[in-house]
Structure 1
């Protein structure tokens, strides 16, 4: 009988959240609450949440572990006093060396967990509104982090103050929320204590000047203020990036 391939657990993301473990567990189990941190506003969001978090999971309620059917990833929630440790773990081949390779799913999990942390710590999982933009840089352009003028700030350790005038025209006076080799998150008080996540994706033959995406998360903006923000970002984005196909959150 052939030997089964050996596997190892790889931690994709691990964050401490200033909320009790029961609250974090409920936030990843209740579809209404998942809607306030997972992905971004899209017509397909409710269906995606139902597919991923309701119909294709195997929960261990007592241990607070959420397994996803058909994929090697799982959520784990650990109580740490008044705070919690949330990690996403992937069972992968023992010899795999994926840590420094861009992976859409991994970077997506990281973005969404950071959105969850913000939503729980600062907004009690309140209603948000988001703007999502994705595409490849036009000839002579650059990937979103550089195009927005965030190259230096993207290297700042989490918790550092970030003061910047973005190429979009927005002023940011927040803190560095998180970073990976491919993305960075910055809080934006001007968006109702919101969050900007900017991700650079690897170049390809069809996008040699760079490509990537941004997620703007806002809270409490009036319809007029949100509309102005959305129009300004779409105008800037369309001037610098080619439109991508309509994406899904997963």
Structure 2
């Protein structure tokens, strides 16, 4: 619930970004800047941004709010306010079913959390830089389980803001800081990715994923063409051996 007890809306995202409110607003409204944090590298990214942020969004620049259209009886609204250490961003949901934070994985809610944390990454650590991403998603093959376990990560070992070092199953000795965690997601800054971000999402068992499954979104900065190609091939090979066709 929101801080106003008379407000029936649900809080989907509530984070503080260490950047001025004008910069955060610009990152929400300029399609070229939205591409630096929303989604991942795909031919359809530009059209998706247009559909969500332009065609089906109503901005209020004075109030620093963006209201999105209704979907399945729910509608989301981004609200920005100035904070002592930057800008507070909240995504508030009107209508819809109560959010299940620990039970059944739900794409839209978890996607917003991931992407606004990607915005925080871009504005705080990589302003003006171009990213490149690797996205892998699918159902686990029998005996594999969730991506975090398959990689050798234990969620209990990671707390936001703390340094970590992890020898991942696919051969990478990752190190950096824990960026954020949720029940479903573990997000790690990785020095080897140009201080980029690796978000491992465990989606659990469902009719589409009878043995579990999930996704990995890797955001990289400053890698050479050869370095990025090698990283992409390494991850793709590891993923293909353990998970089914990407769900998109």
What TM-score, normalized by structure 1, do the two folds share? 0.91
Cα deviation digits, residues 134-175 of structure 1 (max 9, x gap): 0111111111011111124x6522101110011111111111
Partner of 1:42: 42
CA contact (8 A) 2:101 2:183 kept: no
Partner of 1:74: 77
Matches within 5 A, 1:1-250: 8-71=8-71, 72-81=75-84, 83-92=86-95, 96=98, 98-100=100-102, 101-152=104-155, 155-245=157-247, 247=248
Q: Distance in 1 between matches of 2:214 and 2:172?
A: 19
Offset at residue 7 of structure 1 (A):
7.9
- What 5-or-longer segments of structure 2 have no aligned partner? 1-5
Equivalent pairs, count: 239
Offset at residue 74 of structure 1 (A):
1.0
Find the residue that maps to 1:90 and give its secondary structure.
Answer: strand
State the 4+ residue runs in structure 1 displaced beyond 6 angstroms: none
- What 5-or-longer segments of structure 1 have no aligned partner? 1-5
Q: Distance in 2 between matches of 1:206 and 1:81?
A: 44
Q: Kindly report the root-mean-square deviation, in angstroms, between the aligned alpha carbons of the 2 structures.
A: 1.7
Q: Distance in 2 between matches of 1:187 and 1:206?
A: 30
Find the residue that maps to 1:226 and give its secondary structure.
Answer: helix
Distance 1:55-1:87 versus aligned 2 partners, 3 A rule: same
What TM-score, normalized by structure 2, do the two folds share? 0.91
Q: Distance in 2 between matches of 1:160 and 1:219?
A: 21
Offset at residue 82 of structure 1 (A):
5.1
